[in-house]
């Protein structure tokens, strides 16, 4: 099973998200081979609920770990499930770096998502400095250790890990697929060490994936799909990506 997760970030206006939720229903693919998950902004979740039709699925880009209370500006796990979300992106590097989201916060979100029966899409990845100083693997391992602390193998089975090297996001240049293969292998190995024998639902790659390069990732060993930002925000390019994934998976 391959995953294409479309992270629309804050790229689209409300009416554009509504239109893309509807138009994405025109993309045809074999749901036994591929899952297409749209992640609009919170404000567009009502459109997702009304317009996204099976086999397409959808999720949110963020949430808060508490279920109710005085948390100005936040949305709870129940808010997402009220909108029938099945997925939530957690720990995206834009939130870690711009909003100081820590591993402690990410861990609470992963646990809250699992309790609410949402599938967490946990993002991990090294910065350019960490990569250049030879610490990429160490950083990713540290994130996994911190973010998955206290979980059982059964819980980890319900998590999608997105390897997103921070320097490759929005850069127009992804990591070399061979490097993604190696990091994905190490991610699986690390998770199996953290909780003996644990295997995540999927390990996907994100960072400058588009219709020109998605094939290289989809055919790469241990890459279960892609988290696509910019290239998922236009219908034609989203459709091309899905067509290519369908063809090569």
Q: Rule CB under 6 A: which residues touch ligand PGA? A: 7, 164, 169-170, 206-209, 227-231
21 versus 241: smaller Cβ distance to ligand PGA: 241
Catalytic annotation present for 164: yes
Q: How far is the CB of 70 from ligand PGA (least distance, A)?
A: 31
Cβ 114 to ligand PGA shortest distance, Å: 21
- Which one, 177 or 206, has the nearer CB to ligand PGA? 206
Q: How far apart are CA 165 and CA 140, in angstroms?
A: 9
Q: How many degrees, rounded to 5, is the angle at CA 203 between CA 35 and CA 132?
A: 135
Of 92, 94, 101, 143, the active-site residue reads: 92
Packed helices 136-147 and 103-115: angle between N→C axes, nearest 10 degrees: 50
User: Residues 126, 143, 164, 184: which is the catalytic one?
Assistant: 164
Nearer to ligand PGA, 118 or 194 (CB): 118
Provide, rounded to whole angstroms, the least separation between the CB of residue 228 and ligand PGA. 5
**Closer CB to ligand PGA, 105 or 226, in the complex:** 226
Q: How far is the CB of 51 from ligand PGA (least distance, A)?
A: 22
List the catalytic residues.
Answer: 92, 164
């Amino acid at each position: 099973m391959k995953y294409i997760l479309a992270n629309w970030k804050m790229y689209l206006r409300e009416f554009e998200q509504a239109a893309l939720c509807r138009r994405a229903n025109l993309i045809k693919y074999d749901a036994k081979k591929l899952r297409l998950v749209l992640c609009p902004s919170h404000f567009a979740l009502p459109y997702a609920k009304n317009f996204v039709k099976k086999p397409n699925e959808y999720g949110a880009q963020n949430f808060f770990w508490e279920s109710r209370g005085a948390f100005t500006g936040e949305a709870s796990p129940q808010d997402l499930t009220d909108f029938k979300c099945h997925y939530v992106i957690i720990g995206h590097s834009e939130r870690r770096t711009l909003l100081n989201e820590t591993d402690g916060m990410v861990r609470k979100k992963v646990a809250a998502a699992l309790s609410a029966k949402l599938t967490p899409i946990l993002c991990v990845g090294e910065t350019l400095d960490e990569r250049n100083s030879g610490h990429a693997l160490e950083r990713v391992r540290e994130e996994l250790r911190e973010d998955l602390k206290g979980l059982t193998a059964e819980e980890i089975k319900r998590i999608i890990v997105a390897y997103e090297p921070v320097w490759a996001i929005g850069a127009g240049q992804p990591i070399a697929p061979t490097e993604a293969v190696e990091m994905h292998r190490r991610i699986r190995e690390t998770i199996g060490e953290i909780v003996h024998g644990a295997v995540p639902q999927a390990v996907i790659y994100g960072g400058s994936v588009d219709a020109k390069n998605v094939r290289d990732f989809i055919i790469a060993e241990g890459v279960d799909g892609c988290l696509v930002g910019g290239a998922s925000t236009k219908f034609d390019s989203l459709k091309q990506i899905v067509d290519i994934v369908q063809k090569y998976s």
